[in-house]
Amino acid sequence: MKNINLCIAGLGNVGSALVDLIEKNTELVNFKADLNINILGLSAKNKNKKRIFDVSKYKWFQNPLDLLSVDGLAPDILVELIGYEKDISYELVKSAIKNKINVVTGNKAMLAKYGQELFKIAEENKVLLLFEAAVAGGIPVIKTLKNIIFSNKIKKISGILNGTTNYILTTMELENKSFGDVLNDAKQKGFTSDHESELDIGGYDAAHKLTLLTSLAYSAQIDFNLNQIEGIYNITIEDINFVKKLGYKIKLISECSLIENKIYASTKPKLIPINSPMANANGALNAINIETDHLESLYLEGEGAGGPPTASSVFSDILEISSKSLTKSLGFSYSKLIKFEKFNSSNLESKYFLRVRVKDQPGVLSKITSYFNDNNISIEKILQIPDNDSKSMPIVITTHKIKSSELLSSVKKIADLEFILDKISLIPIEY
Amino acid sequence: MKNINLCIAGLGNVGSALVDLIEKNTELVNFKADLNINILGLSAKNKNKKRIFDVSKYKWFQNPLDLLSVDGLAPDILVELIGYEKDISYELVKSAIKNKINVVTGNKAMLAKYGQELFKIAEENKVLLLFEAAVAGGIPVIKTLKNIIFSNKIKKISGILNGTTNYILTTMELENKSFGDVLNDAKQKGFTSDHESELDIGGYDAAHKLTLLTSLAYSAQIDFNLNQIEGIYNITIEDINFVKKLGYKIKLISECSLIENKIYASTKPKLIPINSPMANANGALNAINIETDHLESLYLEGEGAGGPPTASSVFSDILEISSKSLTKSLGFSYSKLIKFEKFNSSNLESKYFLRVRVKDQPGVLSKITSYFNDNNISIEKILQIPDNDSKSMPIVITTHKIKSSELLSSVKKIADLEFILDKISLIPIEY
């Protein structure tokens, strides 16, 4: 039986579920892998918080840095689940790998910002810094990219990488509620906090995760600034209802590809055809679609957050380290990371969905269509929808493919027309 | 740069796509993995068949057994893609592992029948026998089970594991064609042969694959006889159209679970709710859903067959061997494989869909309902559907949960009633 000594820093949902997993599935892991997982020590902010396991069975350290040497013994693996972007998370991980201790983390914010440095230090010290839990919870997308479709040329990765925003969009649709109402519900139920929801709703959490996928897919230097980010703040229940009539759903889509040898990494709301699997990944689910030179589509869907699924991903990294694979943390050496430029997405062509509220007066529809026509924007569909409000009505337009820069400059001008009321909703369409 | 010497036996779609992948993505693999793949020799039945790569660039051996020593040099890995259940495939793989040569194969039929013996020999000779390509083409379900969710207790695996049957069922629905017509089309287009289609349509190919998944999930001895198999021969276009009205699709579902510590491994047509992702995995797609103690659902969908996706899976095994992981072929030692009993599925409860054609005469519906009532079969829905045929009409019934043994004995009696014409369609419902 091989012994693996573990220390765990951070005992929120995921950390606690990990201890629970190790306790409950000891026999299975012993039996199948001849592996004995021994928890040397734990650390978290508050020892006395109610948890799903009995803290008193383990050695407790108030300072997580003390986990690097428990009674003089360094753990084989330090598990970092504190989750700060920098501060103690960064300090702890850096100290661990400098002391030749393998690290498993679920910390996407830290890796998206400091991964470039941390993976270098890990490799120089011949230890692994693994992060399956950092992207899409229980979905094994990191190992799929680095250990499985390694030999493929990745055309595109796209996905729903943030459960909270997906839950909000789904709930708005199902319960016909406004963005604000659903968000408040979610906060009251404890699903998200003010700080978290800012990262979630602003698209930053998804962009952190996309940063890591982009590096794995294109061996791109880990650079959060490559991301183009738009949150879901502006999505209204009207948008959700209209796009449904057109056969779409609105999802916060993170996608990356290499265009003209530059990185296109975008997180923004998109219209997804209603019959595609990703349109039906509802609630807190995450989903990822990978297109390569050898796979038309590989689609993975599952729980993107939560204790048990994410703990399962943490454990898969523990297993990877235990099996002493020669695989590098990223599947390849940090020294292979390429410095790419950011692709200017205003050159990107897409179909678009527009919703405008106009004065209910004769000839408005033809004014808009001729305006679009004059500005070389080709309309695919136009819907004029009667409303309870007698003075104004919404008009919904879908365009054919157009460069976003061209569309945006026209839309700016439309916004100034006298019969246009309110802000114009503008969402690209996945086709 | 690390050199990996490879020999490939079998150059159909997958074998040819593998050579193509190695040729086209050499640079990528060199760059990222510092790995150089060197093809020592090839073998296939017919050297002169038109292929997507130039055979003349490689050493050719008419007898695949000669690949085990090319000019005195044994390859690091032998790739077996001939695909016979026994004969030369078995002989070649067995000789290779006995000679301490790692093997990568896509041969599910061989492993489902002789895996128990072959994995033992591989382990005794300290080599790997890997088989990602044997199940679900480009979907990495084998590595997901053995390297990733290893620490999870698997509750249930269910999936669409055969592309041909899925293509047939989808095409029947989309083109409103009979089973026979679609099958003949598929044969004429070269999608399947007489021999292949028998394995596909009879459910055997899917059951071969399920055998391997069952062993990985429950460390069950590899025993094809644990399978309960029913093909799609009896699915009619009427069934497909009726179940659609009820909100379902018919799919050939392979599923395994441990019930009362016995193996339930079943491949048979089932009704799947139309809004579930698996119901929308159409055409030749494969899909797999895994439920564990830590994952409510992990859903994988992608191309289940075809050269490029399957070659990508073969390559993932080559990478696993090259990284000198300590992982065993199955993720655990063959010696841990447990001999399970087969669960008697007549004790299994399910909802059912029944379609009967009855004489169009007064009182038939009430006769049937009272007959079901008398036999303690609880009806959920009953649909009487007018037909062009004036003398007979179809009746569709869905039941509440009932043991299949009880339902079957009643259905046998119903079949003898004087107003029942034709055979009764009977398909379990996934809920």
Tell me the per-residue pLDDT of B254-269, one tens digit each, with 9 for 90 and over.
999 999 999 999 999 9
Structure tokens at A192: 């998200």
Query: Strand ranges (DSSP E) for B113-260?
Result: 129-130, 154-160, 227-229, 248-259
In this predicted structure, what is the pLDDT of residue B393?
87
Cβ–Cβ contact B236 with A under 8 A: no
In this predicted structure, what is the pLDDT of residue A326?
65
Cβ–Cβ contact A144 with B under 8 A: yes
Closest in B277, B316, B331 to A150, CB measured: B316
Task: Choose, out of A23, A26, A35, A294, the residue to mutate when testing the contact with B (most B CBs < 10 Å).
Answer: A294
In this predicted structure, what is the pLDDT of residue B197?
86
- Cα separation, A57 vs A45, whole angstroms: 17
Which residue carries 């890997």 as its tokens? B130
Q: Do A331 and B32 touch (CB under 8 A)?
A: yes
Nearest to A257 by CA among A353, A385, A157: A157
Cβ–Cβ contact B302 with A under 8 A: yes
Q: Do A301 and B296 touch (CB under 8 A)?
A: no
With contacts defined as CB-CB under 8 Å, which chain B residues touch A147? 143, 147, 316, 319-320, 323
Confidence band of B186 (pLDDT split at 50, 70, 90): confident
With contacts defined as CB-CB under 8 Å, which chain B residues touch A297? 301-303
The whole-number average pLDDT for the span A72-86 is 96
Cβ–Cβ contact B338 with A under 8 A: no
The whole-number average pLDDT for the span A292-297 is 96
Cβ–Cβ contact B325 with A under 8 A: yes
Q: Nearest-CA distance from B363 to chain A in Å?
A: 41
Count CA atoms within 13 Å of residue B386 on its CB side: 0
Residue B390 has pLDDT above 90, yes or no: no
The predicted model scores a pTM of: 0.92
Q: Which domains does chain A have, with CATH numbers?
A: 2-134 (3.40.50.720), 141-304+336-345 (3.30.360.10), 347-429 (3.30.70.260)
Residue A145 has pLDDT above 90, yes or no: yes
In this predicted structure, what is the pLDDT of residue B266?
95
Q: What phi and psi values does residue B13 have, to the nearest 5 degrees?
A: -50, -50
Residue B140 has pLDDT above 80, yes or no: yes
Confidence band of B232 (pLDDT split at 50, 70, 90): very high
Whether the CA torsion B66, B69, B71, B75 is positive or negative: it is positive
The whole-number average pLDDT for the span B121-140 is 95
Mean pLDDT rounded to a whole number for chain B: 92
Confidence band of B430 (pLDDT split at 50, 70, 90): confident
Query: Which residues 26-65 of chain A have a CB within 8 Å of chain B?
Result: 28-29, 31-34
Q: Do A143 and B139 touch (CB under 8 A)?
A: no
The whole-number average pLDDT for the span B367-386 is 86
Residue A370 has pLDDT above 90, yes or no: no
Structure tokens at B392: 């007979």
Mean pLDDT rounded to a whole number for chain A: 92
Cβ–Cβ contact B317 with A under 8 A: no
Closest in A32, A150, A308 to B33, CB measured: A150
CA angle A311, A319, B211 (to 5 degrees): 95
Q: Do B147 and A25 touch (CB under 8 A)?
A: no
Residue A188 has pLDDT above 70, yes or no: yes
**Quick check: B163 and B305 in contact, CB under 8 A?**
yes
Residue A76 has pLDDT above 90, yes or no: yes
% of chain A beyond a pLDDT of 90: 70
Confidence band of B423 (pLDDT split at 50, 70, 90): confident
Residue A319 has pLDDT above 70, yes or no: yes
The whole-number average pLDDT for the span A134-156 is 94
Whether the CA torsion B263, B268, B271, B277 is positive or negative: it is positive
- Cα separation, A153 vs A292, whole angstroms: 5
Whether the CA torsion B258, B259, B262, B265 is positive or negative: it is negative
Q: Do B315 and A143 touch (CB under 8 A)?
A: no
Q: Do A323 and B323 touch (CB under 8 A)?
A: no
Residue A51 has pLDDT above 90, yes or no: yes
In this predicted structure, what is the pLDDT of residue B235?
93
Residue B164 has pLDDT above 70, yes or no: yes
**Quick check: B205 and B231 in contact, CB under 8 A?**
no
Q: Nearest-CA distance from B361 to chain A in Å?
A: 41
**Quick check: A160 and A304 in contact, CB under 8 A?**
yes
In this predicted structure, what is the pLDDT of residue A74?
96
In this predicted structure, what is the pLDDT of residue B326?
64
Confidence band of A375 (pLDDT split at 50, 70, 90): confident
Closest in A32, A143, A325 to B219, CB measured: A32
Closest in B21, B280, B293 to A294, CB measured: B21
Residue B157 has pLDDT above 70, yes or no: yes
Residue A72 has pLDDT above 80, yes or no: yes
In this predicted structure, what is the pLDDT of residue B378?
92
% of chain A beyond a pLDDT of 70: 99
Neighbours of B328 (CB within 10 A): 21
**Quick check: B398 and B351 in contact, CB under 8 A?**
yes
